[in-house]
């Protein structure tokens, strides 16, 4: 199995970085290293990371500093250039990796030696109807997030690149000093430009925050404009779909719901990032506890599994912490279910809105194609007249 390095660029991410590191290190297959690359944070991001390292010395987490230049791209590049893994995983500081993420990435690149870049679906952990959002995002990544006749585009919150491929494009990726491009799509197009294979991997699942939906429409529109800016910077590449149209159509509803749902979470004292994959982490912890008991006693056949769990919990502080977290979650779950019931109807409305947005997107694309054909016909007609005059 190929080794995986996880790179997390960070700037003022004190709110989420501890939960992010917990998810990055609580994996079915451990990452070779988890590199947090701080970019001149002014909050206590570095203190939180260092505390995590001190409390988890075997987790292979490293805190690095990129202070020479402000920005995501130089910070990402610094992490990529200093990573030692065969595969370079890149996620945001508010990304919560599902416990099998590293295993999925390593398996994909091991089984497909032609794959040079990969990305997977995301679910919004701080919004209602998480499973619905995961299915919707999966459909977008699989069918719309494409370039050059079907090559998958990478998504910065959830992507991985083969280290050898990165070395080929490291000095070519756009520095984007004006900060107007999508750095992940730019990297994708540079990989595709080298005829490298980029793929969509449904097993690479990550939970992310929908906090961008809480920005103003002007800010969100400018962010969507980055799609066009990035492809304009790469005129040799093409695309047949415009995912930004769909995201923009969904913005009004999500912008309305996001602050409402945050109030529900706050009133119930729920940290959505911490509970993003808590169930899967508990299952993983139970397996670890049984392995720990077996290691200490050499006996797993004649002992009741529950007894082994109870006794091994006394050997593992991590398991004790998870047990306490589960008790808190059960208490909060009762309150949350009531809120979820109210929001289920809203989920149905969102699905209908998504369908309408998709239909609108198709109409807009068809209209754009008709305009383009009309313009081409007009140009051809003018050229014909010019040629006739020249002939006369």
Query: What is the three-class DSSP state of 172?
Result: coil
What is the per-residue pLDDT for 371?
80
How far does CA 138 lie from the centroid of its chain?
12
Average pLDDT over residues 120-147: 89
- pLDDT, one tens digit per residue, over 190-247 is 999 999 999 999 999 999 999 999 999 999 999 999 999 999 999 999 999 999 999 9
pLDDT tier for residue 315 given thresholds of 50, 70 and 90: very low
The predicted-structure confidence for 59-106, as pLDDT tens digits, reads as follows: 999 999 999 999 999 999 999 999 999 999 999 999 999 999 999 999
Asked if residue 174 lies in contact with residue 181, where contact means CB atoms within 8 angstroms, the answer is yes
Architecture in CATH of 4-267: Alpha-Beta Complex (3.90)
324 closest CA partner among 288, 285, 362: 285
Pairing between β-strand 122-124 and β-strand 206-208 as defined by DSSP bridges: parallel
Pairing assessment for the beta strands 151-152 and 146-147 based on DSSP bridges: antiparallel
Closest CA to 73 of 182, 164, 232, 231: 182
pTM: 0.76
Say if CB 140 and CB 134 are below 8 A apart. no
Average pLDDT over residues 169-176: 97
């Amino acid at each position: 199995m190929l080794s995986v390095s996880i790179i997390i660029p960070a700037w003022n991410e004190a709110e989420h970085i501890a939960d992010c590191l917990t998810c990055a290190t609580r994996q079915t297959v451990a990452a070779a290293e988890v590199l947090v690359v701080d970019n001149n944070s002014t909050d206590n991001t570095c203190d939180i990371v260092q505390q995590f390292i001190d409390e988890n010395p075997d987790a292979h987490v490293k805190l690095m500093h990129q202070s020479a230049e402000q920005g995501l791209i130089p910070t990402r590049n610094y992490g990529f250039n200093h990573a030692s893994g065969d595969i370079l995983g890149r996620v945001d500081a508010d990304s919560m990796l599902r416990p099998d993420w590293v295993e999925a990435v390593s398996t994909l690149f091991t089984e497909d030696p032609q794959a040079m870049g990969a990305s997977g679906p995301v679910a919004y952990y701080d919004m209602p109807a998480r499973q619905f959002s995961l299915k919707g995002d999966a459909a977008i990544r699989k069918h719309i997030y494409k370039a050059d006749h079907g090559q998958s585009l990478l998504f910065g919150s959830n992507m991985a690149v083969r280290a050898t491929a990165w070395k080929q494009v490291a000095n070519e990726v756009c520095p984007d000093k004006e900060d107007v491009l999508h750095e992940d799509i730019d990297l994708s197009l540079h990989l595709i430009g080298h005829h490298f294979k980029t793929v969509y991997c449904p097993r690479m699942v990550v939970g992310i925050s929908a906090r961008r939906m809480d920005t103003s429409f002007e800010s969100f529109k400018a962010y969507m404009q980055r799609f066009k800016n990035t492809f304009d910077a790469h005129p040799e590449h093409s695309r047949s779909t415009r995912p930004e149209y769909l995201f923009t159509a969904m913005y009004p509803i999500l912008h309305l719901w996001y602050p409402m749902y945050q109030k529900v979470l706050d009133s119930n004292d729920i940290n959505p990032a911490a509970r993003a994959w808590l169930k899967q982490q508990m299952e993983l912890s139970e397996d670890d506890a049984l392995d720990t008991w077996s290691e200490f006693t050499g006996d797993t056949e004649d002992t009741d599994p529950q007894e082994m769990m109870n006794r091994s919990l006394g050997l593992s502080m991590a398991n004790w912490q998870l047990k306490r977290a589960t008790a808190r979650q059960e208490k909060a779950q009762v309150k949350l279910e009531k809120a979820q019931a109210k929001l289920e109807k809203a989920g149905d409305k969102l699905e209908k809105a998504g369908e309408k947005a998709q239909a609108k997107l198709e109409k807009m694309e068809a209209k754009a194609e008709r305009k383009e054909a009309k313009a081409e016909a007009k140009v051809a007609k003018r050229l014909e007249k010019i040629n006739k005059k020249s002939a006369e």
